[in-house]
Every structure is written in structure tokens, then in C-alpha cells.
Amino acid sequence: MPALLNGLRVLLLEDEVLIAMDVEQLCLDNGAATVKTVRDLAETEAANPALFDIAIVDLRLGGQSTLGFARRLNEMDIPFIFASGYTDIEEIAQEFPGVIFVPKPYSGNDLIDAVAAACRKRSAA
């Protein structure tokens, strides 16, 4: 069976260290070439989204919203998914139609399937 994330460069916005470590390993185990983790909003300014094929975005880093960064990804046509414990997603779904939301706690399979689906959707567009 081919790796679902074969060769992808993944940008991960996650402030929980253990979750970030798990997601990073999960992506690598499923074929990702690299995973760059950003743990606070200030670090997003230094992260060049153009260097990545996909992003996994927690809605809040250190209590601060990441929606501005998600808008930037959208403008740059970089596929991304939301993976968050934040549950009030109606407004987010309206602003980001078609962006997959994976609620925490999630299974590894659900997360990887969502990342692969977001990449496939972009390829089909």
C-alpha cells in the first residue's frame, strides 16, 4: 500500500508538545518527507508557507487565533486542514468552505486521511 503522504512537506501548527510529537511521527510514518512544527503565533511569521505542500492548523496557539494564518494559506492556495479541540466551528466553516475540520481528540487514521484528502482535492482543482 502506498504511503498516503508520500514525499509531502508538512507544516504543523500545534502548541501542545506531546500532540505535536505524535502528529509529526504519524506524518513521517505515512510517508511525509518533512514536518515543521510551529508552536506559537509569532513563529508563523517566520514560517514560509510556500515551502510546504500542506498545513495542519490548530485554531488556537497559546490562546491566540490562527485564523489570520489560515487566511494567508488560503490566499496562497496551500491546502490545509484544521485539527483542533475548538468546537464552535460554524463561523469557521462559513469562512473556509471545503476545509476539513478534524476535532480533537482524533485518531491518527482520521488525521492522515484528512491530510491526504486535502491534497487530493487541491490536485483535482
pLDDT of residue 65: 93
Rg (CA), the chain: 13
Contact 115, 109 (CB under 8 A): no
Q: Is residue 56 part of a domain?
A: yes
Give the predicted TM-score (pTM) of the model. 0.94
Asked if residue 2 is part of any domain, the answer here is no
Alpha-carbon distance 104 to 58, whole Å? Answer: 10
Phi, psi angles (nearest 5°) of residue 46: -85, -20
Q: Is 4 part of a structural domain of the chain? A: no
Whether a cis peptide bond, with omega within 30° of 0, leads into 105 is: yes
pLDDT of amino acid 101: 96
End-to-end Cα spacing for the chain: 25
Range(s) of the domain holding residue 100:
9-124
In a domain, 28, yes or no: yes
For residue 109, give the H/E element and its range: helix 108-124
Instruction: Please list the pLDDT of the chain residue by residue as tens digits (125 residues).
Output: 457 899 999 999 999 999 999 999 999 999 999 999 999 988 888 889 999 999 999 999 999 999 999 999 999 999 999 999 987 788 898 999 999 999 999 999 999 999 999 998 876 76
Would 40 be classed as within a structural domain? yes
Q: Give the CATH number, domain containing residue 118.
A: 3.40.50.2300
Q: Per the structure, how many domains does the chain have?
A: 1
